[in-house]
Amino acid sequence: MKVTKRQKTWVELDTEKVYNLKDAIETLRGFASKKFDESLEIAVKLGIDITKADQNIRGMLSLPNGTGKKVRVAVFTNDKQADAKKAGADVVGGDELIEKVAGGQIDFDRVIATPDMMPKMSKVAKILGPKGLMPNPKLGTVTNNVAEAVATAKAGQIEYRPEKNGIVHAGVGKMSFTTEKLIENATALIEQLKKVKPSSSKGQYILGCSVATTQGPGLKVEVK
């Protein structure tokens, strides 16, 4: 695999060093792309066994400073279409929208549905599910208050869920954000993960944490 000129500069980094969050972000700024606004990605390894239902945490979090990303929101509804459009939803529809998705047309990043649509959504569950787009009442994406749900999604809400090895990955802002805002966002996620610690999880809960830019190197970060 060819090593790019940018990647060659990474040898200057001490990847075994554990940084505090502020120093890690400031260090990564020196390696961020000048061609586009990269995101700051965080990975938190948790001491959980997601094969156990009571340890498989999942939820939504509104970051204090948003994500900096434009989120395209789709609302599946028949009766609340006017509310969804007024709130700024990018894609709105009912039965006809389900047919479009069934045909492979997906041009959105987040899905909200009214409760009456959920039985019909089963037709596209195998399409939306693997992409993490299937509406879920526990995540607030199945609701009759579509205006509030759309506003929340647009404001910078992220979903957190661990992968099979217990690592939660999330984007917590753009590198164009101030360091203080990135710290606030990352800290909000870490504190939220602490709040939802499963009672059945024994021993050390947060096993490790690292941050990286979208296409940049990763640095280990201490979590107090």
* pLDDT tens digits, one per residue of 11-37: 667 778 999 999 999 999 988 878 889
Q: What is the pLDDT of residue 1?
A: 54
List the CATH number of the domain containing 23.
3.30.190.20
Residue with the bigger pLDDT between 82 and 138: it is 82
For residue 2, pLDDT over 60 is answered with no
- Residue 68 lies inside a defined structural domain of this protein: no
- Residue 65 lies inside a defined structural domain of this protein: no
Give the mean pLDDT of 124-142.
93
Q: What is the pLDDT of residue 92?
A: 97
Confidence of residue 47 (pLDDT cuts 50, 70, 90): very high
Residue with the bigger pLDDT between 179 and 6: it is 179
φ and ψ of 82, to 5 deg: -65, -40
Question: What's the structural domain count of the chain?
Answer: 2
User: Which residue in 214, 222, 219, 152 sits closest to 187, CA to CA?
Assistant: 222
Q: Beta strands 18-19 and 218-221: pairing type?
A: parallel
Residue with the bigger pLDDT between 8 and 89: it is 89
Q: Are residues 37 and 77 in the same domain?
A: no
Whole-angstrom distance, CA of residue 174 vs CA of residue 67? 7
Q: Write out pLDDT tens, residues 203-222.
A: 899 999 999 998 888 999 99
Coil, helix or strand at residue 43: strand
In contact, 146 and 87? CB cutoff 8 Å: yes
- Residue 40 lies inside a defined structural domain of this protein: yes
In contact, 20 and 192? CB cutoff 8 Å: no
Give the mean pLDDT of 66-73.
91
Query: For 6-15, 52-61, 64-73, which range has the lowest pLDDT when averaged over its residues?
Result: 6-15
- Residue 144 lies inside a defined structural domain of this protein: yes
Question: Which ranges in 34-178 belong to alpha helices (H)?
Answer: 81-87, 95-102, 118-121, 125-128, 146-156
Taking the CA atoms of residue 36, residue 42, residue 43 and residue 44 in that order, the dihedral angle to the nearest 10 degrees is 180
* Residue 126 CB contacts under 8 Å (≥ 6 apart), including other chains: none
| Apex 26 CA angle, 24 and 31, nearest 5 | 90
Whole-angstrom distance, CA of residue 97 vs CA of residue 89? 13
List the CATH number of the domain containing 121.
3.40.50.790
Q: What is the pLDDT of residue 206?
A: 95
Q: What is the pLDDT of residue 180?
A: 97
Domain range for 28: 5-57+161-221
Q: Are residues 85 and 147 in the same domain?
A: yes
Give the mean pLDDT of 144-170.
92
Mean per-residue pLDDT of the chain = 91
In contact, 110 and 140? CB cutoff 8 Å: no
* Residue 164 CB contacts under 8 Å (≥ 6 apart), including other chains: 50
In contact, 50 and 162? CB cutoff 8 Å: yes
